[in-house]
């Protein structure tokens, strides 16, 4: 499965000024993300993610690679679990 990362922050057309696209850009500016991970983190549909990635690729601001682990758990589920532990304080001991 491919993963994507931004090489540089792009100037986007007005159609991509929605929060869902900003979330994807933010995630890809920090780390490589797979399409399913982008769908999960931004609540975008598969079509929106696919079209957005194609637009970024056409603009020349997208870097892609093959996922070494190719594990849905490592790229999608684990970050959500980490976030849940942070938000709900599962790692903190109660006094």
Q: Which of 1, 5, 3, 2 is nearest to 56 (CA)?
A: 5
Half-sphere exposure of 25 (CA within 13 A, CB side): 16
This prediction's pTM: 0.69
Options 3.40.1000, 3.40.630, 3.40.50, 1.10.10; which CATH number does 2-88 get?
1.10.10
Higher pLDDT, 73 or 8: 8
Q: What pLDDT sits at residue 80?
A: 74
Report pLDDT digits (tens) over 10-34.
999 999 999 999 999 999 999 999 9
Domain boundaries, the chain: 2-88
Report pLDDT digits (tens) over 34-68.
999 999 999 999 999 999 999 999 999 999 999 76
HEC readout, the chain: CEEEEECCCCCCCHHHCCHHHHHHHHHHHHCCEEHHHHHHHHCCCHHHHHHHHHHHHHHCCEEEEECCCCCHHHHHHHHHHHHHHHHHCCCCCCC
């Amino acid at each position: 499965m491919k993963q994507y990362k931004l090489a540089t922050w792009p100037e986007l057309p007005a159609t991509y000024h929605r929060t869902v696209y900003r979330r994807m850009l933010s995630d890809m500016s920090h780390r490589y993300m797979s399409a399913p991970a982008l769908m999960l983190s931004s609540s975008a549909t598969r079509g929106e993610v696919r079209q957005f990635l194609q637009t970024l690729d056409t603009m020349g601001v997208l870097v892609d690679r093959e996922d070494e682990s190719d594990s849905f758990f490592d790229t999608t589920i684990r970050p959500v679990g980490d976030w849940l532990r942070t938000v709900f304080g599962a790692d903190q001991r109660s006094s």
